Structure 1
Amino acid sequence: FLQHLHKVLCCSGIDLHFLHKEFDKVPMFMKTAPEEIDPMKHPELAAIQSIIHDDDRPLEEQAESLKDEGNDYFKENYKKAIVSYTAGLKKNCSDYNVNAILHTNRAAAHFHLGTVLRIFPSLDLMIFVQYSDHLKALIRGFLVDLCNGVHILHKPMLKLLYLWFKRAAGRDARKAKVKEKKEHSEREALLAAIKERGIQLLMTHQRPKRRSDSEDDGGSCRAMAGLDLDGLCSTEATGVKVFLDEQGIMHWPVLFLYPEYQQTDFISAFSESSSFLDHLTLMFGEELPPWDINRKYSPQNLQLFFEDHEKESLHQVNPEKPLITILQHKRCFIKAGTPSFVILVKGSPFCEKFLSERKTQLLTHSLHQST
């Protein structure tokens, strides 16, 4: 169609250059808008602008429209944005928030252009601080002035700086208080969950009081009453702690000990609902650890034990049981917030020697105690 139109126009003898110039005067066909709109040269464009910025509207609405226009220009043309923001400020509307935005946005446009000028021409903007949330932006504008060599550190400016730092300090204090309250609430929820599960914690400086088996049940309940979370942190370098997830499932840092090779494995988040076999299958699957040179550590060949710190004995663990079942065993005390388990190769010479030197509760008896 355009090619046909061009051919018809050429045949009719119309000057295409003149036609293009005439089209450029029509706002709908303008390729670029003029820097400044002269009503004498561009009456149609001036009419459109007057519709947008109708002088009959309240000053607040006019300033708001110029602010929005400046924001649109800001994406592509900082100079035009400055013109719009300045026009908005000239309206002298009573909305301090809009005026503050016009000032700060104009300052941002000048900053991107690298313009050296007085960003805030009047310290009367102090009043904006009382009615708007743009104190930080105002301070940045003043700092830009300082960088441009405009020295404005007199009494009103110092007062404004003092107010800014005072607000910042108050905000930081409130954030710290909210954070502390949240952490306290999480600690209380975790402590309640540990008590509810009947899990016993043993701090590094504490040893469980010796008691007879008949006293175990009552003693465990009394121990729960005095439970706290001080020092409930992994002794590993990571400092990982037990935590509750959004579903209320507890995850523990767990340490596996391999005394035969003096090696360890650290699991940072062992779900209480996961079994030991789940982890052992992953850890000793197709790729065995480099220290297992004889390839003895396969899941079906392993025996697990936890240590009874009071009676200095070992209790065998059923690897198919979930972690929570073992932690609820009345002879299981969690030291420094990290359950630890000894792993041996069943029937190996080292295993037989290691167990012969220690009191050992076999799996059947250990499971009977836990019920």
Structure 2
Amino acid sequence: MAQSSDSDDGMDEFMEKFKTHKYKNAFNESNWEEEFDKVPMFMKTAPEEIDPLKYPELACIQSIVHDDDRPPEEQAKSLKNEGNEYFKEKDYKKAIVSYTVGLKKKCSDSDLNAILYTNRAAAHFHLGNMRSALNDATAARKLKPDHIKAIIRGAQCCMELQDYAQALQWCDEGLGSVPTDKKLLELRATADKQKRAAARDARKAKAKEKKERNEQETLLAAIKERGVKLHKPEQPQRRVSESQEEDDDDGSATAMAELHLEGLSTQETTGAQVYLDEQGVLHWPVLFLYPEYRQTDFISAFCENSSFIDHLAVMFGEELPPWDTDKKYFPQNLQLFFEDHKNGHLFEVDVQKSLLNILQQPRCSVKGGTPSFIVVVKESPFCKQFLSGKKVHRLK
């Protein structure tokens, strides 16, 4: 009785404190909603991380659910159920965490571990982590080879990874255990269809690649046969002496640049590329530059046998371009040049000559797959100013 009396006295003393000391943790009008949200029963959403100091009640519940003193099998089962609840809520990331912690318990129940792996595979699958999902499905089958859910998930992962042969293998192994499984039969039919389509597309792509490669090789051979040089700006150019330039003008010391497909890269920027027609004639994309007005003309298919005057007569015929405000760009008034990309010298073009004749000149090279020519009005003030200080050559 004395002990009860002492206890009662202690309670009386505790209650007496409220008369002089205000309870510090009491709810009030400003914080009651925040305080209620800390109580597990009234929580609207569970916190990402459970801080025991901030959420003591929730931490207590969690410690009961995940009591380390319980057998590993019970702990793993609780974590599996927790993961399943997250999965139902489509919170796949938290589900993965729960399943992972469950697997770390290393319980001796192989069936339970197989389920944990299969469920984690499903969560990874819904997050788009196909490789991780496939690894988990494989791990589940090692524990339980005939686990049909793991087999279906593995086949689905292979389908998403476009490994149709592997998907077929998963389906066949599963159907060996359950020959009438509807889902596996559907998956197998789809995998077989996709595998055949992929093989057909691969054959077509290979044939197309071979055809394009042959066409490019034929094209390069035609360019090389004509002696046309492709300029590769990414390679450092060696400096040449005046005597070497003279030799090159004669063509006696000029070595033909090695031809590569990279030298025909204009298609990416202009949509046009040199091509060889059925008669074996080359057609080049050609650029005309008008520095006086900072204008350009682009001819997508300039036949190598056509002369410059033929195109100039069309471009500056009855209707002159709107930027030619002084009406001076007539074919007979124009002077054309190409630039030697090695030293910047200009070479005058005979407009009566064909494109091929000019491209075969020793100092002429095609840059970026597109021959380019500068066009000015002969003897005009701009022409004199433009050519001033430049080294100009006449072709021999």
Matched-pair contact (CA < 8 Å) for 2:263–2:367:
no
Q: In the alignment, which residue of structure 2 is the partner of 1:164?
A: 193
Matches within 5 A, 1:149-228: 153-211=182-240, 212=244, 213-214=246-247, 217=251, 219-221=253-255, 223-224=256-257, 226-228=258-260
The CA deviation at 1:159 is: 1.8
Range 309-318 or range 233-242, more displaced: 233-242
Amino acid at match of 2:373: F
Matched-pair contact (CA < 8 Å) for 1:202–1:335:
yes
Matched-pair contact (CA < 8 Å) for 2:248–2:362:
no
Amino acid at match of 2:302: F
The CA deviation at 1:313 is: 1.1
What is the rounded CA distance, in whole Å, between the counterparts of 1:337 and 1:202 in structure 2? Answer: 8
SS at match of 2:300: strand
The CA deviation at 1:352 is: 1.2
Out of 327, 347, 352, the position equivalent to 2:359 is 327
Q: Deviations over 1:23-42 (max 9, x none)?
A: xxxxxxxxxxxxxxxxxxxx
Q: In the alignment, which residue of structure 1 is the partner of 2:345?
A: 313
Return closer, same or farther for 1:298/1:153 CA change in 2, 3 Å cut-off.
farther
What is the rounded CA distance, in whole Å, between the counterparts of 1:358 and 1:160 in structure 2? Answer: 73
Q: Deviations over 1:193-231 (max 9, x none)?
A: 11101111112323543440336646534x34x321214
Q: How many residues align?
A: 211
What is the rounded CA distance, in whole Å, between the counterparts of 1:360 and 1:231 in structure 2? Answer: 26
Q: In the alignment, which residue of structure 2 is the partner of 1:247?
A: 279
Amino acid at match of 1:220: T
The CA deviation at 1:355 is: 1.2
Amino acid at match of 1:281: A
SS at match of 1:220: coil
Q: In the alignment, which residue of structure 2 is the partner of 1:130?
A: none
Matched-pair contact (CA < 8 Å) for 1:203–1:335:
yes
Matched-pair contact (CA < 8 Å) for 2:267–2:273:
no
What is the rounded CA distance, in whole Å, between the counterparts of 2:267 and 2:379 in structure 1? Answer: 31
The structure with the largest alpha-carbon Rg is 2
Q: In the alignment, which residue of structure 1 is the partner of 2:38?
A: none
Determine whether 1:232 maps to 2:264: yes
Q: In the alignment, which residue of structure 1 is the partner of 2:388?
A: 356
Q: Deviations over 1:149-194 (max 9, x none)?
A: xxx9533332221110000000010011001001100110011111
Q: In the alignment, which residue of structure 1 is the partner of 2:332?
A: 300
What is the rounded CA distance, in whole Å, between the counterparts of 1:265 and 1:206 in structure 2? Answer: 28
What is the rounded CA distance, in whole Å, between the counterparts of 1:168 and 1:231 in structure 2? Answer: 36
Matched-pair contact (CA < 8 Å) for 1:207–1:310:
no
Greater relative contact order (CA < 8 Å, ≥ 6 in sequence): 1
SS at match of 1:230: helix
The CA deviation at 1:249 is: 0.7
What is the rounded CA distance, in whole Å, between the counterparts of 1:236 and 1:319 in structure 2? Answer: 29
Return closer, same or farther for 1:307/1:153 CA change in 2, 3 Å cut-off.
farther
Q: Deviations over 1:26-72 (max 9, x none)?
A: xxxxxxxxxxxxxxxxxxxxxxxxxxxxxxxxxxxxxxxxxxxxxxx
Q: In the alignment, which residue of structure 1 is the partner of 2:315?
A: 283
- Let me know the Cα RMSD of the aligned residues: 1.9
Determine whether 1:346 maps to 2:378: yes
SS at match of 1:248: coil
Matched-pair contact (CA < 8 Å) for 1:252–1:271:
yes
Unaligned runs of 5+ in 2: 1-180
Return closer, same or farther for 1:257/1:291 CA change in 2, 3 Å cut-off.
same
Amino acid at match of 1:155: L
What is the rounded CA distance, in whole Å, between the counterparts of 2:189 and 2:268 in structure 1? Answer: 49
Matched-pair contact (CA < 8 Å) for 2:232–2:367:
yes
What is the rounded CA distance, in whole Å, between the counterparts of 2:222 and 2:364 in structure 1? Answer: 17
What is the rounded CA distance, in whole Å, between the counterparts of 1:210 and 1:192 in structure 2? Answer: 28
Matches within 5 A, 1:264-275: 264-275=296-307
Q: Deviations over 1:301-328 (max 9, x none)?
A: 1010000122321100011111000000
Matched-pair contact (CA < 8 Å) for 2:230–2:263:
no
Amino acid at match of 1:314: L
Range 304-313 or range 251-260, more displaced: 304-313
Matched-pair contact (CA < 8 Å) for 2:231–2:263:
no
Matches within 5 A, 1:8-87: none
Q: Deviations over 1:118-169 (max 9, x none)?
A: xxxxxxxxxxxxxxxxxxxxxxxxxxxxxxxxxx953333222111000000
SS at match of 1:338: coil
Matched-pair contact (CA < 8 Å) for 2:307–2:352:
yes
What is the rounded CA distance, in whole Å, between the counterparts of 2:224 and 2:253 in structure 1? Answer: 14
Return closer, same or farther for 1:358/1:207 CA change in 2, 3 Å cut-off.
farther
Q: In the alignment, which residue of structure 2 is the partner of 1:121?
A: none
Q: Give percent identity, aligned residues only.
A: 56
SS at match of 1:324: helix
The CA deviation at 1:257 is: 0.4
What is the rounded CA distance, in whole Å, between the counterparts of 1:235 and 1:345 in structure 2? Answer: 30
